[in-house]
Amino acid sequence: MNTDIIKTQIRLSAENKMKMLADDALLEKVASVAQIITDAYRKGHKTLWAGNGGSAADAQHMVGELVNKFCMDRPGLPAMALTVDSSVMTSIGNDFSFDEVFARQIQACAGEGDVFIGISTSGNSRNLVKALAECRKKGVITVALVGEKPCLMDGYDFVVHIPSTETPRIQECQTLIGHIICYIVEQNLFGKA
């Protein structure tokens, strides 16, 4: 029966979130990331977000929360999704390779003290791995939101491992973490709602 499927999916999602709730190290990492982003904004820097497929949509979603608003009316915060300009992405993909689509944009648009957030369920997306080298050259702080397995993005400055290997569960928790970060940053910068 369809309601049984629905209940199972809700239960699996809730169980994964309860694992996160019980993981003090994960909670501290998320708090650290929110503070790093807050500090970057206080110093006049920006955030840049990227991912592939559903993670690209998640990157765009979080940028919308920061540029517009999350829970309160307030001035917009400078944030960019490196996944939205089809002309830029296809020209880089055509002239270089798809592996370079984020690194080239970081080279052009990021500055020292900015924060780059890479979202990937596997943590092994070549274009996000390549972005790390460019971030290092530019002095950009890096944050990875990835699944629980060790991955190539473990070299990022801050790595938040979601306690799951299932893509839907990882994505659900990445969205939750993104929302929590947006909420904390907004509260830190603009006070209580």
**The pLDDT value given to residue 125:** 97
Q: Angle, to 10 degrees, between the axis of helix 24-42 and the axis of helix 167-190?
A: 50
**The pLDDT value given to residue 164:** 95
What CATH code is carried by the domain that includes residue 131?
A: 3.40.50.10490
**The pLDDT value given to residue 99:** 97
Sorted by sequence, the CB contacts under 8 Å of residue 185 that are 6+ apart come out as 34, 37, 38, 41, 66, 77
DSSP state letter for 163: S
Q: Provide the 10 A C-beta neighbour count for residue 108.
A: 10
Q: SS3 of 68, please?
A: coil
**The pLDDT value given to residue 2:** 85
Q: For the chain of 193 residues, list the mean pLDDT of each consecutive stretch of 10.
A: 90 95 97 98 98 97 97 96 96 96 98 98 97 97 98 98 96 97 97 70
Q: Provide the 10 A C-beta neighbour count for residue 136.
A: 12
pTM of the predicted structure, to 2 decimals: 0.96
In which domain, by residue range, is 63 found? 2-190
- 145, 177 contact by CB (below 8 A): yes
**The pLDDT value given to residue 193:** 52
Residue at token pair 């929590």: 180
Give the CA angle between residues 72, 77, 83 to the nearest 5°: 115
CA neighbours closer than 13 Å in the CB half-sphere of residue 112: 2
Q: Total structural domains in the chain? A: 1
